[in-house]
Structure 1
């Protein structure tokens, strides 16, 4: 009980961080400033939907997104300098996002109490993250700058969180958390550029359109370092030329019409692929110069994703906009090498949120 209380206390404290960190001093429960739009949502990742309990097995993230530009002088300087270098110097501010979350990874068999040198190590992360998005003047490209900081090891509370979840739902108790990647402050800074591909976009059927966008991403930190590239196909109505990564079409100029056949639901479908060249991954290789469990990583990892976002316009209230839900499935290639078979892995994701 003390462990579960600690989890709740830490999460309650971290949920207040984005509010306190806003330079404008506006709490999440306050009404947005005139002309500003907000969205709040929670995302839950889990592989148990596909009858597995291994590798990246669970993640939860609470997020708040606002179109109000509340950056302070320091943030404006470094995001401006980064944008000049990345080719988005003339882009306009789109929105910022504040998130807090926890994730955990485990080996294939969590009932083994001894170290498993040929399987993925236990590891957890408790983190806060801030992102700033900028859209080019022609609305053909979006640049995302993100900074994440968190703690790993026992400080991440991944062990008590997983044990509590398994106890509640009568699942096998994890036995190997004594052999997890140890405590450290983990940081990650990333930049992503997502651009519309007009030559592969156009009308499909009636006013349903296909929009294609390519992206690249660079991430550097002691948590992981990698370079990535990919493509996303979006199907729907009234789509912008390019939109941020899921959970939504956040920069649409007009309400998204429905590709579904029911008036009370609006649908947008996304299909994507990404390849990452991994230079370092703490969750696989452990902390440098520490006696952590580790496996030999694969340098190239690929994801295939399929997502369905559903907006519910009839749920609009007097003090909030419509609710939305998004389902996403990710099929990931093997991330490490071992003498035994390392299978591909499938993760399900559910996002629930509301716009203001």
Structure 2
């Protein structure tokens, strides 16, 4: 428990605004709130809940321009091109929790072929370096799997509020384990929109990789969006190791905007992953634990809509995820709601 409170305290300190040293910003940054749940699709199994609160700094000419980056600068200094003056930079801090359960939550002894109970409580630190055409993001997640993740308590609380029965098999969840992941992703935007006003469309392909004792995979995909007054950002991803609050392009690199600040667009997104390891399916790294093994190829297909006011946006999407393990009875559908507020 001391580790949990220490982790949460560190996250709150990182998210808190700092004073002095930085130049007067055009914005203070972007706060992102993400909620994902399979209740949107009328189910309560597998990846059943995800929540994440993320903050990204304003656009920076230099990473040393904000005290939020100070303790991570030795790592950031090693990144190729991150100090190129052609790139804008953002520092990222997040905290989140994911909850996983089997299909049958009534039994006290889950089937060995069903998905294990598991939780993941984590904090994230990272950096973005971007232009008006391409964005790079590198994020490190540090957290805990097992009872330390407080997944059982969080799910019990939500079920009590909604008047649902408690799942009965949490005594069989994965063992406590500290987890670390390092995720990199690159996103492109095409075509180059010099003015974001009126009806436009945009394609945002992406590619990346994640490594660590929690998940190991390579991913590729893209997002297509069409609508009125598109936001000057890099799309609307679901919760994942490389996801963070929106990082809209600002200042001299920002596109011209029309006089009408309200926008609306529809989007469709695909992300395909070649998975080498997934602790939530393969079980704990050390010692015996429940496990079912993972499918090598997994894909997410999502569709939704966004309402944006300047660089602040509200998004909703339904996500279709292909089977993640061989005995899974059906692909999964869950909903995702996000609010990104640039202030």
| TM-score, L = length of structure 2 | 0.83
Q: 1:344 matched to which residue of 2?
A: 331
Q: 1:179 matched to which residue of 2?
A: 172
Which of residues 36, 50, 53 in structure 2 aligns to 1:62?
A: 53
Distance (Å, rounded) in 1 between the aligned partners of 2:9 and 2:316: 27
CA distance change for structure 1 residues 133 and 323 in 2, over 3 Å: closer, same or farther? closer
Shifted more, 241-250 versus 157-166: the winner is 241-250
Distance (Å, rounded) in 2 between the aligned partners of 1:108 and 1:90: 51
CA distance change for structure 1 residues 241 and 72 in 2, over 3 Å: closer, same or farther? closer
Distance (Å, rounded) in 1 between the aligned partners of 2:181 and 2:10: 18
Q: 1:178 Cα deviation (Å)? A: 0.8
- Provide the aligned C-alpha RMSD in A: 3.2
Q: 2:137 matched to which residue of 1?
A: 144
Distance (Å, rounded) in 1 between the aligned partners of 2:155 and 2:55: 25
Q: 1:83 matched to which residue of 2?
A: 80
- Any idea what SS the aligned residue of 2:221 has? strand
Q: 2:106 matched to which residue of 1?
A: 111
Q: 1:208 Cα deviation (Å)? A: 1.2
Distance (Å, rounded) in 1 between the aligned partners of 2:35 and 2:26: 27
Distance (Å, rounded) in 2 between the aligned partners of 1:350 and 1:15: 23
Structure 1 segment 317-336 matched on structure 2, within 5 A = 324-336=313-325
Shifted more, 96-105 versus 182-191: the winner is 96-105
- After superposition, what is the alpha-carbon deviation per residue over 1:170-214, rounded to whole angstroms, capped at 9, x for unaligned? 11211001111110100000111112343xx889xx931111121
Q: 1:317 matched to which residue of 2?
A: none
CA distance change for structure 1 residues 213 and 122 in 2, over 3 Å: closer, same or farther? same
Distance (Å, rounded) in 1 between the aligned partners of 2:85 and 2:193: 27
Distance (Å, rounded) in 1 between the aligned partners of 2:299 and 2:54: 26
CA distance change for structure 1 residues 245 and 217 in 2, over 3 Å: closer, same or farther? farther
- Any idea what SS the aligned residue of 1:303 has? strand
- For the Cα contact (< 8 Å) 1:111–1:176, is it kept in 2? yes
- After superposition, what is the alpha-carbon deviation per residue over 1:274-322, rounded to whole angstroms, capped at 9, x for unaligned? 1100000000001124211000210000011123221346xxxxxxxx8
- After superposition, what is the alpha-carbon deviation per residue over 1:37-81, rounded to whole angstroms, capped at 9, x for unaligned? 212232111001111001110011112221154365663343343
Which of residues 268, 289, 306 in structure 2 aligns to 1:271?
A: 268
CA distance change for structure 1 residues 292 and 225 in 2, over 3 Å: closer, same or farther? same
CA distance change for structure 1 residues 285 and 90 in 2, over 3 Å: closer, same or farther? farther
- For the Cα contact (< 8 Å) 1:196–1:241, is it kept in 2? no
- For the Cα contact (< 8 Å) 1:111–1:174, is it kept in 2? yes
CA distance change for structure 1 residues 195 and 324 in 2, over 3 Å: closer, same or farther? closer
Q: 5+ unaligned residues in a row in structure 2: which ranges? A: 238-244
- Any idea what SS the aligned residue of 2:174 has? coil
- Any idea what SS the aligned residue of 2:17 has? coil
- For the Cα contact (< 8 Å) 2:46–2:101, is it kept in 1? yes
Question: Does 2:240 align with 1:243?
Answer: no
Higher RCO, Cα 8 Å, sep 6+: 2
Which of residues 304, 308, 311 in structure 2 aligns to 1:307?
A: 304
Distance (Å, rounded) in 2 between the aligned partners of 1:278 and 1:41: 27
